[in-house]
Amino acid sequence: AFTAKNGGINQRVWLLPNKGQEFLDILEIDVMYEAVSHVLGEEFQLSSFSSNIAKPGGSKMNLHTDQWWAPEPTRPGRRNLPVGSMTRSNFDFDPDRIEPPIAIAPAACSNAIFMLNDFTNANGGTRLVPKSHMMGRHPDPIRDKDIKTVAAEGPAGTAIITDGRVWHGTGSNRTNHDRVGMLLTFCGPQYRPQVNYTIALDQEVLSKVTDRQKTMFGLKVWWGYGRTGHPSVEFVNPIEKGLGVLTPNKRRRGRYNV
């Protein structure tokens, strides 16, 4: 799942909602929604839902934010990097910006990290940079290579909620046992999620999801966005066939068949 320079032997398990009812049940945890709402507000959706297995000997991951795609504030008259030119390794950076910055981007995503076994400094507990969500920029692998990080540690069953701007990365596992985490990333309803659940979800799963789960999977129309037809419909149904080609009705002039 990772390149040799970015974890190598570590493993990811993607698209957990298709893997069993127990993963859908995770999406019904009220306290998780309360915490994420504190970061993102009243409306948000699921961007990805996966597992990260840090294996013995796996190297640490480069520090990053999970909202690298969110443009940062810029100065009037300055030519910023166009949003369509941004990549995971190519960000807009103003070398003449004031430090500390006058304005920073708001949180656009939030993570819920579930520790399925004990997370420790030794077994690759997620590395975090305290207060980095207020820095107003993305980490640079060269400029920030020596920045101090702390490990997210806790017993199995613990979960932490993070602001999407926090600099973080999987730590190196220096033990003889796997370190297993379950990761949910949420983003605002106006952003494109990592996983296109409208296509990726099995039809059997779609047939039994709750309204809350439909919202998380991006099936809820948000102020007219995400619709497949009329904008007043609350939820879209990916299984339902839409209207087809319009053809003239030969018997009723000015009318069309669909």
For residue 202, what pLDDT band results from cuts at 50, 70 and 90? very high
Over residues 58-71, the mean pLDDT reads 92
Q: Which is more confident, 62 or 8?
A: 62
Chain mean position to CA 111: 7
Residue 71 has pLDDT above 50, yes or no: yes
Task: Dig out the tokens for 240 from the structure.
Answer: 């339902």
What's the order of all strands across the beta sheet hosting 150-151? 150-151, 127-128, 168-169
The chain-wide mean pLDDT, for the chain, equals 92
Task: Dig out the tokens for 139 from the structure.
Answer: 């980490």
Three-state DSSP class for residue 138: coil
Q: What is the CATH number of domain 1-227?
A: 2.60.120.620
Residue 2 has pLDDT above 60, yes or no: no
For residue 222, what pLDDT band results from cuts at 50, 70 and 90? very high
Three-state DSSP class for residue 31: helix
Query: Which of 30-39, 86-95, 191-200 comes out lowest in average pLDDT?
Result: 86-95
Share of the chain above pLDDT 90, in %: 76
What local confidence, expressed as pLDDT, does residue 233 receive?
A: 92
Of 160, 170, 106, 176, nearest in space to 134 by CA:
106
For residue 257, what pLDDT band results from cuts at 50, 70 and 90? low
Over residues 87-110, the mean pLDDT reads 91
| CA atoms of 124 and 170, how far apart (whole Å) | 6
| CA atoms of 16 and 24, how far apart (whole Å) | 8
* 3: amino acid identity, one letter: T
What local confidence, expressed as pLDDT, does residue 5 receive?
A: 55
Task: Dig out the tokens for 44 from the structure.
Answer: 């948000």
Over residues 84-95, the mean pLDDT reads 91
| CA atoms of 36 and 125, how far apart (whole Å) | 21
Over residues 83-97, the mean pLDDT reads 91
| CA atoms of 187 and 44, how far apart (whole Å) | 6
What local confidence, expressed as pLDDT, does residue 184 receive?
A: 99
Q: Where are the domains of the chain?
A: 1-227
Query: Which of 71-75, 210-214, 250-254 comes out lowest in average pLDDT?
Result: 250-254
Residue keyed to tokens 């690759």: 124
Three-state DSSP class for residue 46: strand
| CA atoms of 193 and 210, how far apart (whole Å) | 19
Residue keyed to tokens 């540690």: 153
Pairing of strands 11-13, 45-54: antiparallel
| CA atoms of 29 and 219, how far apart (whole Å) | 19
Residue 1 has pLDDT above 50, yes or no: no
pLDDT in tens, 135-179: 999 998 888 989 999 999 999 999 999 999 999 999 999 999 999
Share of the chain above pLDDT 70, in %: 93
Residue 183 has pLDDT above 70, yes or no: yes
On whether the CB atoms of residues 149 and 166 are closer than 8 A, the answer is no
Q: How many CB atoms lie within 10 A of CB 4?
A: 8
Of 165, 185, 187, 135, nearest in space to 64 by CA:
165
What local confidence, expressed as pLDDT, does residue 245 receive?
A: 83
Q: What is the dihedral of CA 77, 138, 111, 133, to 10 degrees?
A: -80
